[in-house]
Amino acid sequence: MDVDFDDTARLGLRRYVRLVTEALGMTGESSYIEAGTPAQAYLAVDGWVEDFPDRDVALLWSDEDGWSAAVETRNGEDLFVVARMGGEPTPPPHAVAQWATAFLNDEREHRDEQFAVA
């Protein structure tokens, strides 16, 4: 039997993103993971960013930078990062949910204190 060690990383990342999704109170398939180097994840979320009210929002994760919030571009190119969570790359799912919820609710006083804005 061949063992693919990449499956362990992929399954772990999938589980982590699922736990973040659940902590956000979301259901269904709204995420994509890439367990390569660097490992990355994309999580579509409901909401909008004040400066970009007509654009879709996503949470991005990488094993190098951790979590960030981004908006879709109009020309289909890379997402435009508007904020970074900061701290360790894999914080507990409830912490990610609190950060994302606060950011999407535009709690600027908390953003200035807790968030490293991109």
- The model's pLDDT over 7-63, given as tens digits with 9 standing for 90+, comes to 788 889 999 999 999 999 997 678 899 888 889 999 999 887 888 888 889 999 999
Distances in whole angstroms, Cα of residue 58 to Cα of each of 2, 13, 114: 36, 17, 19
pLDDT at 13: 92
Question: Does 4 score more than 60 pLDDT?
Answer: no
pLDDT at 82 over 60: yes
Residue-wise pLDDT tens digits, 54-77: 888 999 999 999 999 999 887 777
CB atoms within 10 A of CB 45: 19
Whether the predicted pLDDT of 83 surpasses 80: yes
The total number of structural domains that make up the chain? 1
How is 6-55 classified by DSSP, letter by letter? Answer: HHHHHHHHHHHHHHHHHHTT--SS-EEEE-SSS-EEEEEES--BTTBTTS
Q: Which domain holds residue 61?
A: 5-114
Q: How far apart are CA 100 and CA 26, in angstroms?
A: 12
The pTM is what?
A: 0.81
Report the C-alpha gap between 8 and 5 in whole angstroms.
6
- For residue 74, what is the DSSP state? T
* Helices and strands in the chain, H and E counts: 3, 5
Percent with pLDDT over 90 in the chain: 47
